Chains A and B, each alone.
Chain A
Amino acid sequence: MEVHEFDTMIPTDLVNIGNQSLTRTYTHTFPSRHLNMQLLRTFESEPLSPSRIAEQFVETLRLDGAGNEVSVYGLDTSNIDLGETEQGILCAIRGCVVWRDTKEYQYSRHGPFIFHITEQNKQYLFDSLRQTCFNQHESIEAPPLENMGDHIRNILERWLQKQLCESCQNSLLLWDGSLMSPSVNRPITPLMTLLNIARRERNVILAFSKKTSLTAMGHRMNTLVNDKDVPCLLDIDNIIQLQYGKRLRFLGKVYIAKFSRGTLSFRLDLDRRLSQCEGRFAAEDLLRSDLIVNSYPESLRLAHILSRFSAGEVIAMKRYITLHHSLRIVPQPDVRQILFGPYGGA
């Protein structure tokens, strides 16, 4: 199966489940659950300067241009709230895979898929999608309504990642985010399964985080790296394990990637089963095989751009919903505007 044939693999249920959510109403209710979203707390320790942290806990891996040219696939997804109905919320998700083929980029974009999520149908949606995409039959309590969009997007993302892992060999798979299981938001089983499949197909997963809440003893990660060793990887796995190991499960080794000079560096998670040397080789292969702008791989940047929804598309989806499903989006008053007028701030 080739990447460009993904469209034939998209479970039609994803479309059908979305459509059902837009048409059906459910009478049975499920108790809502409150998640503790505050997962991370500041690590308290004696203050260390970034240079001392770098000396004691961080290993710099300089990269050279000896990498091999391999296939690179970038994958990203996005979701957006379209509005509220009298019963619940409307959201849309979309995913995109971008790859580089003979120096030229190509993409396969999936979606948008639109869902009408209510308190009545959210459990059904959550279970059905997980069952359809990952063949997981056991029921897990659905997250709160307001977080359902993120979770449905996550399911699509994991599904696309699975397709990539299965259909590619000897390739670099670039994901947006981390290889960490911080919460119930990201079930551990699918991620482990994905890593196993990738290993089996001799693919290397490189997960780039544009933003990270992890710090190295209270210091932001990008303060640990400077321009003199560029391009390089900073192995900060030890210090991260030390700080967060008890609370979070890291399925990947954590690095800081700085591939080009400038202000930007990114957290990079590489499969924990890969040795430091193998990780360095993967990064060197990436430098050889993809265009790097501001330390960020172009294929992932394009995947991000292509998956994002524009304002025009949001209007288009609202029009679609109105025309095909006669759902009325309830306008919500802008409380901030009403209360504070022009002094409301952003």
Chain B
Amino acid sequence: MEIVSCPSGDIRKGDYIIIRDIALNRSLVVQVMNVGYANIPGILEDILRESSLENIEGRENDFLGIQAFADIIKDAKILRCKIRRAIIKGRLSHDISWTPSRSTSQLVTITDKAFLKLIGTPTTHAITLGTTKEGEDVNINLSTIDGKLNIITGKKGTGKSHLSKLLVSNLVRKGGICVVFDVNGEYINIGYDENNEKTQLYDKIHVITPGKNFQVTLQYTGLGVFLRIISSVLDLPENSAWEIRRIWLKLMDNQALTLTNLREAIDHVTNNYVRDALIRRFDSLMSTGLFTDNPRISATLEEYFYKAKKGGGLIINLKGLPSSFRQIIVEFMLSKMSTLLNNWIIRALFLFAEEAHLYLRKTYWEDIVTRMRHLGIFSTFITNQPDSISESIYRQADNIFLFNFTNENDLSTVSKATMVDVETVNVITKELPPRHCLVLGKVTNDFPLIVEVKPLKAKVMGQTRLFFSTIQPIGAQ
């Protein structure tokens, strides 16, 4: 839908306008996709004439003030809009099959406050995501994240991790349990403010550094989790898996399941190939430092979840770990969490996976999304490589937070899979400034909305480290 706007006013891409057809007593809610100058006959002549005369000094005796009108007309804009919803009998409706009159319809610019009221943003059980262009708070209802699959994507340095931290801290404050796979150690100081002072969150944030403050016994790990790790992460062949299973059960029967005994039993495997395969996997597992035989230093996830039962964040610190270690740890965590959820030890949790492709296979995440969602793991993927998330995950996503993308391939990946049209993604996300995102999905009642993400009063760890950080940029005060 194209709208001629004269005078044009400050209408930008992403803004909403209401087209009110008085005769039909209906309105359309449209979103501005593009703003261009109206092609009014003779305007080009005007511009050329003015440019050829710009060096001539002159005096205008325009007694009627016509020039002001001419300037308004010269600046008339064409707004290319997408119809988002209709308002019929005062209620939002999906019936947009009708067309308003173009001669009698009224154009109503809607304030952000009125728009947020229209789309029904909550006032209770809400967290503040950020602000609109006019500075109105964008509150999102927790229920629109609860049980949902979210994706936060955008190019690097646009504010993805910032939003993710904001969601984590707000969910924790509201009593939610969040588990974060923290690849870069960005979340470990989320309990501190900018001045390195402890905040209210401090006691609710629990940093788990596998191999350091988190080690587990084989018994706690359990055969199922152990087999899953060595099979799916360490690619143990099926025959060898059967052998280790046999050894494990025998040691269990003898109540002698320890790392030392397990290694010794592996050494006694008669088949050379199987023995060598098992030794290599065992050594890999041991080198993670995740496992211990010492019950005094061993820990359990249950302890952490217990600490977080009234809201807390479990930050799994994967910083500096080799890729295979990360995979082992993540596999362990996910398997254990599934068990805990299955046994109703915890009710549900919010999982934040930053750059998930670095520690789990793409196909595995699809499995998590479909399977664990029913268990109560509600994932949020954060990535600057949109093609690292498979199309099927995009299609299942309930909410997408899109930050700036300029790369055509990235845009094409995102736009193919998102719940809104290609044009919306292409036009808006290309021009989003840093810390601004296009929110798509349930959180905004399926109205694409540009939000400036709220500043986070926490110690920021995700900033890019600069070599010339002490040198003032040109023009800086």
Distance between Cα atoms of A315 and B58 in the complex (Å) = 23
Which residues 62-90 of B sit at the A interface, judged by CB distance below 8 A? 62-67, 69-70, 72-74
Asked if B1 CB lies within 8 Å of chain A CBs, one says no
Q: Establish whether residues A312 and B73, one from each chain, have CB atoms under 8 Å apart when the complex forms.
A: yes
Q: Establish whether residues A7 and B59, one from each chain, have CB atoms under 8 Å apart when the complex forms.
A: yes
Q: Which residue of B lies closest to A114 (CB)?
A: B64
Write out the residue numbers on chain A whose beta carbons fall within 8 Å of the beta carbon of B60: 109
Q: How far is the CB of B64 from chain A (nearest CB, A)?
A: 6
Given A104-B57, A305-B53, A311:B62 Cβ within 8 A: no
Write out the residue numbers on chain A whose beta carbons fall within 8 Å of the beta carbon of B69: 316-317, 319-320
Q: Establish whether residues B66 and A310, one from each chain, have CB atoms under 8 Å apart when the complex forms.
A: no
Distance between Cα atoms of A106 and B56 in the complex (Å) = 5
Which residues 11-65 of B sit at the A interface, judged by CB distance below 8 A? 40-43, 45-46, 49, 52-53, 55-65
Main secondary structure on chain B at its contact with chain A?
Answer: mixed
Asked if A107 CB lies within 8 Å of chain B CBs, one says yes
The winner among B49, B63, B67, B74 for most chain A CB atoms within 10 A is B63
CB < 8 Å: which of A114, A312, A319 contacts B42?
Answer: A312
Which residues 73-116 of A sit at the B interface, judged by CB distance below 8 A? 98, 104-114
Given A316-B66, A316-B70, A311:B40 Cβ within 8 A: yes
CB < 8 Å: which of B43, B45, B53, B73 contacts A306?
Answer: B53
Asked if A6 CB lies within 8 Å of chain B CBs, one says yes
Write out the residue numbers on chain B whose beta carbons fall within 8 Å of the beta carbon of A110: 61
- State the 5 A-B residue pairs at the shortest beta-carbon distance, nearest first: A311-B42, A316-B69, A316-B70, A7-B61, A107-B58
Distance between Cα atoms of A104 and B55 in the complex (Å) = 9
Q: Establish whether residues B61 and A10, one from each chain, have CB atoms under 8 Å apart when the complex forms.
A: yes
Distance between Cα atoms of A108 and B41 in the complex (Å) = 26
Q: Establish whether residues B64 and A311, one from each chain, have CB atoms under 8 Å apart when the complex forms.
A: no
Q: How far is the CB of A103 from chain B (nearest CB, A)?
A: 12
Per-position contact with A for B93-135: 1 when CB-CB < 8 Å, else 0? 0000000000000000000000000000000000000000000
Report A's interface with B, CB cutoff 8 A: 4, 6-7, 10, 15, 98, 104-114, 302, 305-306, 310-317, 319-320
Sampled A-B contacts (8; CB under 8 Å): A108-B58, A112-B64, A302-B53, A306-B58, A310-B46, A312-B40, A312-B46, A320-B66
Distance between Cα atoms of A315 and B72 in the complex (Å) = 10
Q: How far is the CB of A194 from chain B (nearest CB, A)?
A: 21
Write out the residue numbers on chain B whose beta carbons fall within 8 Å of the beta carbon of A111: 61-63
Q: Establish whether residues A106 and B62, one from each chain, have CB atoms under 8 Å apart when the complex forms.
A: no
How many residues in B have their beta carbons less than 8 Å from beta carbons of A? Answer: 27
Q: Establish whether residues B73 and A320, one from each chain, have CB atoms under 8 Å apart when the complex forms.
A: no
CB < 8 Å: which of B43, B63, B67 contacts A311?
Answer: B43
Q: Establish whether residues A109 and B61, one from each chain, have CB atoms under 8 Å apart when the complex forms.
A: yes
Q: Which residue of A lies closest to B45 (CB)?
A: A310
Q: Establish whether residues B61 and A311, one from each chain, have CB atoms under 8 Å apart when the complex forms.
A: no
Q: Establish whether residues B73 and A15, one from each chain, have CB atoms under 8 Å apart when the complex forms.
A: no
Q: Establish whether residues B63 and A10, one from each chain, have CB atoms under 8 Å apart when the complex forms.
A: yes
CB < 8 Å: which of A106, A109, A310 contacts B49?
Answer: A310
Q: Establish whether residues A113 and B64, one from each chain, have CB atoms under 8 Å apart when the complex forms.
A: yes
Q: Which residue of B lies closest to A101 (CB)?
A: B57
CB < 8 Å: which of B58, B63, B70 contacts A113?
Answer: B63
Distance between Cα atoms of A306 and B58 in the complex (Å) = 10
Given A312-B70, A313-B70, A106:B57 Cβ within 8 A: yes
Q: Establish whether residues A4 and B59, one from each chain, have CB atoms under 8 Å apart when the complex forms.
A: yes
Write out the residue numbers on chain A whose beta carbons fall within 8 Å of the beta carbon of B55: 104
Q: How far is the CB of A142 from chain B (nearest CB, A)?
A: 23
Q: Establish whether residues B61 and A315, one from each chain, have CB atoms under 8 Å apart when the complex forms.
A: no
Write out the residue numbers on chain B whose beta carbons fall within 8 Å of the beta carbon of A108: 58-59, 61
Write out the residue numbers on chain B whose beta carbons fall within 8 Å of the beta carbon of A306: 53, 58
CB < 8 Å: which of B43, B58, B64, B67 contacts A106?
Answer: B58
Distance between Cα atoms of A110 and B55 in the complex (Å) = 19
Write out the residue numbers on chain B whose beta carbons fall within 8 Å of the beta carbon of A113: 63-64
Distance between Cα atoms of A317 and B66 in the complex (Å) = 6
Write out the residue numbers on chain A whose beta carbons fall within 8 Å of the beta carbon of B49: 305, 310
> Beyond A109-B62, A316-B69: 19 further Cβ-contacts under 8 Å?
A15-B63, A98-B56, A104-B55, A104-B57, A106-B58, A107-B57, A112-B66, A113-B64, A311-B41, A311-B43, A312-B40, A312-B73, A315-B70, A316-B73, A317-B69, A319-B69, A319-B72, A319-B73, A320-B65
The winner among A6, A108, A110, A310 for most chain B CB atoms within 10 A is A310
Which residues 431-464 of B sit at the A interface, judged by CB distance below 8 A? none
Given A106-B57, A108-B58, A305-B49, A315:B40 Cβ within 8 A: yes
Distance between Cα atoms of A92 and B323 in the complex (Å) = 79
CB < 8 Å: which of A311, A316, A317 contacts B72?
Answer: A316
Distance between Cα atoms of A114 and B65 in the complex (Å) = 12
Given A112-B64, A305-B49, A310-B42, A107:B73 Cβ within 8 A: no
Q: Establish whether residues A107 and B59, one from each chain, have CB atoms under 8 Å apart when the complex forms.
A: yes
Write out the residue numbers on chain A whose beta carbons fall within 8 Å of the beta carbon of B56: 98, 104-107, 302
Q: Which residue of B lies closest to A9 (CB)?
A: B61
Write out the residue numbers on chain B whose beta carbons fall within 8 Å of the beta carbon of A317: 66, 69
Write out the residue numbers on chain A whose beta carbons fall within 8 Å of the beta carbon of B58: 106-109, 306
Distance between Cα atoms of A158 and B64 in the complex (Å) = 21
Q: Which residue of B lies closest to A306 (CB)?
A: B53
Distance between Cα atoms of A10 and B61 in the complex (Å) = 9
Q: How far is the CB of A50 from chain B (nearest CB, A)?
A: 36
Distance between Cα atoms of A310 and B44 in the complex (Å) = 10
Write out the residue numbers on chain A whose beta carbons fall within 8 Å of the beta carbon of B65: 320
Distance between Cα atoms of A317 and B42 in the complex (Å) = 14
Distance between Cα atoms of A86 and B476 in the complex (Å) = 64
Distance between Cα atoms of A104 and B62 in the complex (Å) = 23
Q: How far is the CB of B207 from chain A (nearest CB, A)?
A: 65
Write out the residue numbers on chain A whose beta carbons fall within 8 Å of the beta carbon of B61: 6-7, 10, 108-111
Write out the residue numbers on chain A whose beta carbons fall within 8 Å of the beta carbon of B59: 4, 7, 106-109
Write out the residue numbers on chain B whose beta carbons fall within 8 Å of the beta carbon of A107: 53, 56-59
Write out the residue numbers on chain B whose beta carbons fall within 8 Å of the beta carbon of A320: 64-66, 69
Write out the residue numbers on chain B whose beta carbons fall within 8 Å of the beta carbon of A7: 59, 61
Write out the residue numbers on chain B whose beta carbons fall within 8 Å of the beta carbon of A315: 40, 70, 73
Distance between Cα atoms of A320 and B72 in the complex (Å) = 11
Q: Establish whether residues A112 and B42, one from each chain, have CB atoms under 8 Å apart when the complex forms.
A: no
Distance between Cα atoms of A302 and B73 in the complex (Å) = 24
The winner among B40, B41, B60 for most chain A CB atoms within 10 A is B60
Q: How far is the CB of A223 from chain B (nearest CB, A)?
A: 32
Q: How far is the CB of A61 from chain B (nearest CB, A)?
A: 32
Write out the residue numbers on chain B whose beta carbons fall within 8 Å of the beta carbon of A15: 63-64
Write out the residue numbers on chain A whose beta carbons fall within 8 Å of the beta carbon of B41: 311
Distance between Cα atoms of A105 and B69 in the complex (Å) = 26
Write out the residue numbers on chain A whose beta carbons fall within 8 Å of the beta carbon of B40: 311-312, 315
Distance between Cα atoms of A89 and B64 in the complex (Å) = 19
Q: Which residue of A lies closest to B59 (CB)?
A: A108
Write out the residue numbers on chain B whose beta carbons fall within 8 Å of the beta carbon of A6: 61
Write out the residue numbers on chain B whose beta carbons fall within 8 Å of the beta carbon of A305: 49, 52-53
Q: How far is the CB of A72 from chain B (nearest CB, A)?
A: 14
Q: Which residue of A lies closest to B50 (CB)?
A: A310
Distance between Cα atoms of A107 and B73 in the complex (Å) = 24
Q: Which residue of A lies closest to B63 (CB)?
A: A15
Distance between Cα atoms of A111 and B42 in the complex (Å) = 19
Write out the residue numbers on chain A whose beta carbons fall within 8 Å of the beta carbon of B67: 316
Distance between Cα atoms of A306 and B53 in the complex (Å) = 9
Q: Which residue of A lies closest to B56 (CB)?
A: A105
Write out the residue numbers on chain A whose beta carbons fall within 8 Å of the beta carbon of B66: 112, 313, 316-317, 320
